[in-house]
Amino acid sequence: MDDRVSLAQQVKAANDIVDVIGTYISLRKAGQTYKGLCPFHDDNRPSFDVDPRRQRYRCWACNQYGDVINFVQEQERVSFLEALEILARRAGISLKNHSSSPHAATRAFMLEQMKWAAGQFHDCLLESPLADAARKYLGERRLNGETIRRFGLGFAPGTGEWLTQRAASAGLSADTLEQLGLIARRNEGPGYYDRFRDRVMFPIRDARGHTVGFGGRILPTSPWADRAPKYYNSAETILFSKSQQLYGIDQARQAATTAGYLAVVEGYTDVLMAHQVGIPQVVATMGTALNEKHVQQLRRVADKVVLVFDADAGGETGVDRALEVFVKNEMDLRVATLPAGLDPCDLLSQRGPEEFQSALTNAVDVLEFKLNRVWAREGSSVEGRRRAVDAVLGVLALAPETHTIKMELIVNRIATRAGLKEENVWKRLNEIRARRADSVSDRSALQGGSAEPPPEARTAKAAPHEVELLEAMLAEPAFVATARAEIEPGQIEHPGLRRLIEELFRLQDEGYPPDLEHLRARVDNAPLMARARELEERGQGKTNRQAFAQDVLARFRQRLATRRKLELQHQLQDAGDDHAAVEILRQFQKHTGS
């Protein structure tokens, strides 16, 4: 089989959609399709159709639709590649000999190296005399052997070349281990040295259980303890990014489904102790505040998230960042507060699970938490209430300027708490937004740059000619080569559509089929891929796809020409001398044909 043929197509061919969906919900035959209760919303009448001919499903009530891979993604709350792996394993298809791109092959090789390193560190902790102090430290933290084995904890000895020598003996590539941040070249002389030394090693795994990085905790008894960072993470690689990784996610996924939420703590041992005492729906960030990338990971597992702060650490920055994330995303985000001076590990080991579980159960939503804090701090005076309102609105002003139902509910709660009219709260929010925009503009002018807002604050409605272009390419992949010869991605104004078109062009350039199957293996953005599926289906419904594609391209050319003429007209008006004006006029005549 041609190695460019999509693995996704092989997996889909080996997994009949009726058989797969039938393992999740009850289906009954109804004519040429199968019907059942939709698993994606509270369905009390069979509105979910599965079509074995087209190998597609659709709910006519909530409009969820797609193929067997989409179904597993939604039902299991996993990424495209994770769903592909689940279905491949179900069908007995080995993924080792299949890679949709050189990038995937490199990633698979690096995962193997990480697995090897994790095994070395783990065996050292369990068996080597070099790890006596590490075992004593973990015992003092009250972590038992079962927890240590389940999470694969390890130890990196302090000799400086322990892992380097073992890698050489095993014939492993030093270059790859260097890329993974496990070893580094010596500044003077040949050879390498271990980057992790005298540290308890916490393997950081993705949702599928693959080790993608490490966190190393320096032993308190280490001679380097006073001059080395307490915690040290792996280098940023194609496997690992601390700004989006969640420690313990592989162990917490199933429990979160049962509990109905995920709890987010700050440290590795917090996660370990929570799991050890029977509260396994707990994960940790890698020393960073909750951000948009974390939210993408969390929402695949649970719609409700509880952030855990102790009374000392629940500072304004963490809460404000959480509130900003809450406003931007459709999720139930809550805050649980622990007693002052106790992190989750200490609380759990000293007092048992009841108090921690009670804090999770009684967590309040992040807006209420913020309101309670500012009202308690500012007091009940008129000026105090004004400052309290401004403190909350100052955070809301960081979110994109939208007037959604969620934002209306937030403003209503603030107005009710402060005893104000809603229109006055909206007015004040807009004033703070305007003041912030002016401040950004002033700073940009001082720095000699443009006052462009950050990407997350920009919203854009796609132009019809750009939507039609992507629709034509998805419906007729052969058209991608034609479009590639005439269009540059930079000519696409909408950022989401530009991303999809860039990836289609890249597939074309690399010799892979530029279709939806390959596209979704590269774009890990569920809303964007849902839009792509919709456009593909709409385009495939055209009577004459080729004629439609040619019409779309002609309209796109015309749009670009019109845009260019307007640009030249503005340049002609602003021309500073006759020579420049003549040159611009020549270009203008070329574009107008006059």
For residue range 390-403, list pLDDT tens digits in order.
888 888 887 766 65
Q: Domain holding 532: CATH number?
A: 1.10.860.10
Least confident span in 20-24, 313-317, 504-508: 313-317
Answer yes or no: is pLDDT of 116 > 50. Answer: yes
Q: Domain holding 271: CATH number?
A: 3.40.1360.10
The type of residue at 309 is: F
Establish if 584 belongs to a structural domain. Answer: no
Q: β-strand 332-338 against 199-205: which pairing, if any?
A: unpaired
If pLDDT is split at 50, 70 and 90, which confidence band does 368 have?
confident
The 3-class SS string of 361-386 reads HCCEEHHHHHHHHHHHHHCCCHHHHH
Higher pLDDT, 531 or 574: 531
The per-residue pLDDT for 456 is 38
Least confident span in 59-68, 297-306, 520-529: 520-529
The per-residue pLDDT for 105 is 66
Q: Of 211, 233, 255, at which residue does a domain stop?
A: 233
Torsion over CA of 250, 532, 240 and 272, rounded to 10 degrees? -20
Residue 107 and residue 87 in one domain: no
Report how many helices (DSSP H) and strands (DSSP E) the chain contains, helices first.
26, 17
Higher pLDDT, 455 or 139: 139
Residue 250 and residue 283 in one domain: yes
The encoded tokens of residue 201 equal 């090693």
Q: Domain holding 25: CATH number?
A: 3.90.580.10
Residue 20 and residue 132 in one domain: no
Answer yes or no: is pLDDT of 97 > 70. Answer: no
> Could you tell me which residues are beta bridge partners of residue 310?
338
Answer yes or no: is pLDDT of 104 > 80. Answer: no
CA distances from 483 to 4, 342, 489, 492, 517 (A): 21, 60, 10, 12, 19
- Residue-wise pLDDT for 191-215, tens only, equals 899 999 999 999 999 887 899 999 9
Higher pLDDT, 229 or 94: 229
Establish if 457 belongs to a structural domain. Answer: no
CB 447 within 8 A of CB 517: no
If pLDDT is split at 50, 70 and 90, which confidence band does 4 have?
very low
- Residue-wise pLDDT for 548-568, tens only, equals 888 888 888 888 777 766 665
Higher pLDDT, 487 or 577: 487
If pLDDT is split at 50, 70 and 90, which confidence band does 578 have?
low
Residue 287 and residue 325 in one domain: yes
Establish if 593 belongs to a structural domain. Answer: no
Spatial separation of the C-alpha atoms in residues 100 and 11, rounded to whole Å:
13
The per-residue pLDDT for 236 is 87
Residue 470 and residue 554 in one domain: yes
Tell me what the pLDDT averaged over the chain comes to: 83
Q: What average pLDDT does range 298-306 have in this prediction?
A: 85
The per-residue pLDDT for 98 is 57
Higher pLDDT, 586 or 544: 544
Residue 510 and residue 407 in one domain: no
Residue 82 and residue 147 in one domain: no
Nearest to 270 by CA among 395, 445, 142: 142
Q: What average pLDDT does range 432-438 have in this prediction?
A: 75
Q: Of 233, 266, 286, at which residue does a domain stop?
A: 233
The per-residue pLDDT for 564 is 66
Residue 229 and residue 106 in one domain: yes
The per-residue pLDDT for 183 is 93
Q: What average pLDDT does range 444-472 have in this prediction?
A: 61
The per-residue pLDDT for 193 is 93
Answer yes or no: is pLDDT of 107 > 90. Answer: no
If pLDDT is split at 50, 70 and 90, which confidence band does 388 have?
confident
How many domains does the structure of the chain reveal? Answer: 5
Spatial separation of the C-alpha atoms in residues 193 and 185, rounded to whole Å:
6
Residue 72 and residue 116 in one domain: no
Residue 63 and residue 140 in one domain: no
What percentage of the chain exceeds 90 in pLDDT?
32
Nearest to 104 by CA among 8, 175, 171: 8
Q: What average pLDDT does range 328-333 have in this prediction?
A: 80
Q: Domain holding 186: CATH number?
A: 3.90.980.10
The encoded tokens of residue 299 equal 């929402």
The per-residue pLDDT for 239 is 87
Residue 67 and residue 16 in one domain: yes
Q: What average pLDDT does range 20-32 have in this prediction?
A: 89
Q: What average pLDDT does range 243-262 have in this prediction?
A: 89
Answer yes or no: is pLDDT of 328 > 70. Answer: yes
If pLDDT is split at 50, 70 and 90, which confidence band does 127 have?
very high
If pLDDT is split at 50, 70 and 90, which confidence band does 584 have?
very low
Q: Of 182, 209, 233, at which residue does a domain stop?
A: 233
Establish if 426 belongs to a structural domain. Answer: yes
Establish if 581 belongs to a structural domain. Answer: no
Q: Residue 562: phi, psi to the nearest 5?
A: -65, -45
If pLDDT is split at 50, 70 and 90, which confidence band does 447 have?
very low
Spatial separation of the C-alpha atoms in residues 424 and 411, rounded to whole Å:
10
Is the pTM here over 0.75, yes or no?
no
Establish if 331 belongs to a structural domain. Answer: yes
- DSSP string of 228-284, one letter each residue: S-SEEEPPP-SS--TTT-EETHHHHHHHHHHHT-EEEES-HHHHHHHHHTT---EEE
Answer yes or no: is pLDDT of 442 > 50. Answer: no
The per-residue pLDDT for 124 is 97
CB 368 within 8 A of CB 332: no
Ranges of beta strands (E only) in 150-250 are 154-156, 183-185, 192-194, 199-205, 211-218, 231-233, 246-247
Domain carrying residue 33: 7-91
CB 158 within 8 A of CB 222: yes
Residue 176 and residue 272 in one domain: no
Report the range out of 259-273, 324-338, 417-431 with the highest average pLDDT. 259-273
Using the 8-state DSSP alphabet, how is residue 130 labeled?
A: G
The per-residue pLDDT for 457 is 36
What percentage of the chain exceeds 70 in pLDDT?
85
Report the range out of 261-270, 305-314, 428-437 with the highest average pLDDT. 261-270
Establish if 117 belongs to a structural domain. Answer: yes
Establish if 394 belongs to a structural domain. Answer: yes
The per-residue pLDDT for 574 is 52
If pLDDT is split at 50, 70 and 90, which confidence band does 88 have?
confident
